[in-house]
Amino acid sequence: MAEEMRIVLRNYGKINPLKIDEYINQGGYKSLEKARSMEQKALIEEIKKSNLRGRGGAGFNCGQKWSFAYQAMSEQKYVICNADEGEPGTYKDRLIMENDPHTLLEGMAICGYAIGANKGYIYLRGEYPHLMDVLNTAIQQAGEKELLKDFAIEVRSGAGAYVCGEETALIESLEGKRGEPRFKPPYPPLEGLWNQPTIVNNVETFANVAVILEKGAEWYASIGAPAYPGTKVFTLTGDVNNKTFFEVPTNTTIRELIFKLGGGIAGGKKFKAVQIGGTSGAFIPEELLDTPVAFDAMSAVGATLGSGAVFVLDESRDLVDVVTRIAGFFEHESCGKCAPCREGTARVCEMMNKVNAGQGSAGDVSLLERLGRVMSYSCLCGLGQAAPAPVLTTIKHFKADYNAKLM
């Protein structure tokens, strides 16, 4: 039986998020104190050894990323928390910030000490205005107790642009420019905010840091899948009985998520498909449900872990119609900077509408596949590269749904 294991949500429901003393009574800020007693290299090595990997899209080794910024020669460095949780169906970062804001601040401050940064920013999703007060209260309380010392944290609000979830578009927005991705390299650990070395990690990643220092890298590395250890927070939506959230070890399977923790398909209907990782995630058929929810295992079946959103669909759902709506979302959210995404999302949307209306041909489906493949490797950032995934995976695994609508 799949069971929850709470690391990033360890204080959920146990403390008042607006009272710092309750966090401190749970052992809060002891890891920051421990970090400051260590040499920076040793601290980064501990994070590296834990094999904590980013809980956003890329799954990069966190300690390795920090080491690049640490080694970069600069008088000014920055730490940015990507709290621009714009993936439809996802609210895991909100859960952490609402219920345990200090775990985020502590993780950011540890990172700041590790790389030699004295300034941090939380880039908060524009649709979360209530969290501005929660975070600012936590920052003020930590400041009054002089816990953050020479590390200042400021909260900045986004304006609802999906593309600003991409780290370089987020940086552009923080600098007061239009939110568009940058060409890479250089990568942010070497040249990020105002061209200075910058670490960008998301809320869930930072929420792991204090616990790793408290319990040790080996403890963390022993949990879940060895190549992607620890836990992952999932939010369940769609045709599932338990529309809620879970934090589970990364060797839990998709089937366990849906049928054990999620309580199975609502209304006694049969399972049809699940999309994991948000709107840009792949649609997964029943035969792949025994895949573990670890980054590499998901990649091996052509899927992504992404934001941990789990969108379940029963047998009554029209997948072509669902994907047509997703295509419209991506056309709207493309920033337009690169031609493959700007033109590609528009054409995918146009052709999906045609097929969905019963006016498409087999040639249109074939063209959708070709266009999707080109976009997946030619678009500038992750938005455009992932945008065709719902189309490509439904054509691959659910071709009958498309054939039923062709002329």
Ranges of the chain whose pLDDT falls below 50: none
| Residue 345 within a domain | yes
Find the distance separating the first CA and the last CA of the chain, reported in whole Å.
Answer: 46
Residues 6+ apart with CB under 8 A from 118: 76, 77, 112, 150, 151, 152
Check if the beta carbon of residue 98 is closer than 8 Å to that of residue 131.
yes
The tokens 């439809």 sit on which residue?
88
Q: State CA 403 to chain mean position distance.
A: 34
Judgement on whether residues 89 and 177 belong to the same structural domain of the protein: yes
**Amino acid code (one letter) for 95:** L
How many domains is the chain built from?
A: 3
Judgement on whether residues 216 and 230 belong to the same structural domain of the protein: no
Judgement on whether residues 243 and 208 belong to the same structural domain of the protein: no
Judgement on whether residues 248 and 342 belong to the same structural domain of the protein: no
Residue 57 has what pLDDT? 75
Judgement on whether residues 326 and 257 belong to the same structural domain of the protein: no
| Residue 11 within a domain | no
Check if the beta carbon of residue 290 is closer than 8 Å to that of residue 271.
no
**Domain boundaries, position 281:** 225-314
Cβ atoms within 10 Å of 124's Cβ, excluding its own:
24
Residue 62 has what pLDDT? 97
pLDDT in tens, 158-175: 999 999 999 999 999 999
Residue 393 has what pLDDT? 98
Residue 278 token pair: 């948000």
What CATH code is carried by the domain that includes residue 338?
Answer: 1.20.1440.230
Class of residue 291 by CB neighbours under 10 A (exposed 0-12, middle 13-18, buried 19+): middle
**Boundary (domain end) residue, out of 254, 280, 314:** 314
- In 3D space, the residue among 371, 357, 372 whose CA is nearest the CA of residue 406 turns out to be 357
Judgement on whether residues 353 and 306 belong to the same structural domain of the protein: no
Judgement on whether residues 283 and 388 belong to the same structural domain of the protein: no
Judgement on whether residues 280 and 327 belong to the same structural domain of the protein: no
Residue 2 has what pLDDT? 73
Judgement on whether residues 131 and 84 belong to the same structural domain of the protein: yes
Residue 1 has what pLDDT? 52
CA distances to 332, 347, 362, 398 from 369, rounded to whole Å, are: 21, 12, 11, 13
Judgement on whether residues 167 and 28 belong to the same structural domain of the protein: yes
- In 3D space, the residue among 124, 117, 122 whose CA is nearest the CA of residue 78 turns out to be 117
Q: Are strands 231-238 and 309-314 parallel, antiparallel or unpaired?
A: parallel
Residue 271 has what pLDDT? 98
What CATH code is carried by the domain that includes residue 50?
Answer: 3.40.50.11540
Q: What does the buried/exposed string (b/e) look like for 257-288 if buried means 16 or more CB atoms within 10 Å of the residue's CB?
A: bbbbbbeebeeeeebbbbbbbbbbbbbbbeeb
